[in-house]
């Protein structure tokens, strides 16, 4: 049987049943195409191919997250074929080798974040104030950069200081933001449906990350940062303040609590760093 015969079926399943965005589905199909390359799906050959595929991926200069994504995509597709009784006898133990250690995300402590925003305000780049507002929103709410940039004026509820967010898989959630920040948004151009725009066009994630990169090269900030750092720092700060992890999960829009739990390791790492730096008996025993 040909892989192409079931690719379209799986695509429809991802869209209709899993509610994934077209962009996510496209990336999944790209990963699957790399594995199958239009070859026949034969159980024995697939098991052998899985081992070879994993080995070759690890030989390449790829991030572990990219490798895990590719093989997870393949695993889910094969499970789908098995559920549909299209294929059987897949040895899923082959996939155990990819359940690797998740990289701990970079996070910044609250005091350092306050200093960081002070430094960012020294930037003379065009539209710097707008980019800083986006970064503040991410840090204050935990939004993904894509979620922040897709916000529309109609998504804001000024009565309870909340924002309706449309995240991965078109899932909607409600997050709350401090009133002082919403007041800052009032000074932005409202001629467009989107909140963050330049010349009537929605700004891109790349332009915000480019702003951070320029600030680093201009020595305005001391560390290379990405927009993800601000989301990670939100989650870690919440944990440091003893927020319930399931509440954090909802605020971040994670479908699985295990994804949120990685931030507990970040919080522990930060606590240890503070202890190592400021303990009164450091280097005295």
* Proportion of the chain above pLDDT 70, given as a percent: 78
pLDDT tens for each residue of 139-162: 999 898 999 999 999 999 999 999
Residue 244 has pLDDT above 70, yes or no: yes
Higher pLDDT, 167 or 151: 151
Residue 279 among the catalytic residues? no
Residue 120 pLDDT: 96
Quote the pLDDT of residue 274: 43
Give the start-end residues of each E strand in 159-280.
Answer: 162-166, 172-176, 197-198, 201-202
In this prediction, residue 110 carries a pLDDT of: 84
pTM: 0.59
Residue tagged active-site, from 168, 173, 202, 250: 168
Distance from C-alpha of 64 to C-alpha of 2, rounded to nearest angstrom: 30
pLDDT given for residue 123 in this prediction: 94
The residue whose two tokens read 């200081």 is 161
> Residue 94 has what pLDDT?
62
Round the average pLDDT of the chain to a whole number and report it.
Answer: 80
**Cβ atoms 249, 157 nearer than 8 A:** no
Given 70, 136, 231, 232, which residue is catalytic? 231
What is d(CA 183, CA 136) in angstroms, rounded to the nearest whole number?
Answer: 13
Confidence of residue 279 (pLDDT cuts 50, 70, 90): very low
Where do the domains of the chain lie, and which CATH numbers do they carry? 4-98 (1.10.150), 110-278 (1.10.443.10)
Active site residue 263: yes
Confidence of residue 38 (pLDDT cuts 50, 70, 90): very low
pLDDT higher than threshold 80 for residue 117: yes
Catalytic residue status for 144: yes
Percent of the chain with pLDDT over 90: 30
Choosing from 70, 136, 144, 232, the catalytic residue is: 144
In which band, very low, low, confident or very high, does the pLDDT at 235 lie, cut at 50, 70 and 90? confident
Confidence tier at 76 by pLDDT (50, 70, 90): confident
Catalytic (active site) residue 247: no
Mean pLDDT of 250-261: 75
Of the residues 263, 265, 272, 284, which is catalytic? 263
Q: Which residues contact 34 (CB under 8 A, 6 or more apart)?
A: 70
Q: Cα torsion at 53, 56, 58, 64 (round to 10°)?
A: -50
């Amino acid at each position: 049987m040909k892989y192409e015969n079931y690719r379209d079926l799986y695509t429809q399943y991802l869209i209709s049943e899993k509610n994934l965005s077209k962009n996510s589905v496209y990336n999944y199909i790209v990963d699957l195409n790399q594995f199958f390359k239009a070859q026949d799906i034969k159980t024995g050959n697939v098991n052998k191919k899985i081992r070879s595929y994993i080995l070759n991926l690890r030989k390449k200069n790829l991030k572990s997250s990219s490798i895990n994504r590719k093989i997870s995509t393949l695993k889910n597709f094969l499970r789908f074929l098995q559920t549909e009784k299209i294929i059987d006898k897949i040895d899923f133990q082959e996939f155990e080798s990819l359940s690797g250690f998740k990289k701990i995300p970079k996070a910044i402590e609250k005091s350092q974040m306050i200093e960081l925003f002070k430094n960012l305000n020294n930037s003379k780049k065009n539209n710097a104030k707008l980019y800083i507002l986006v970064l503040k929103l991410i840090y204050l709410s935990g939004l993904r950069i894509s979620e922040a940039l897709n916000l529309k004026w109609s998504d804001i509820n000024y009565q309870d200081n909340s924002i309706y967010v449309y995240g991965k898989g078109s899932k909607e959630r409600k997050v709350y933001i401090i009133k002082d920040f919403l007041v800052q948004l009032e000074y932005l151009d409202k001629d467009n449906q989107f909140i963050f725009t330049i010349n009537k066009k929605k700004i891109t994630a790349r332009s915000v990350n480019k702003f951070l990169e320029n600030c680093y090269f201009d020595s305005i900030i001391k560390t290379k940062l990405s927009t993800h750092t601000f989301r990670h720092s939100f989650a870690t700060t919440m944990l440091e303040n003893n927020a319930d992890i399931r509440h954090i999960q909802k605020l971040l829009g994670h479908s699985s609590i295990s994804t949120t739990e990685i931030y507990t390791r970040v919080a522990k790492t930060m606590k240890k760093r503070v202890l190592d730096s400021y303990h009164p008996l450091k280097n005295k025993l």
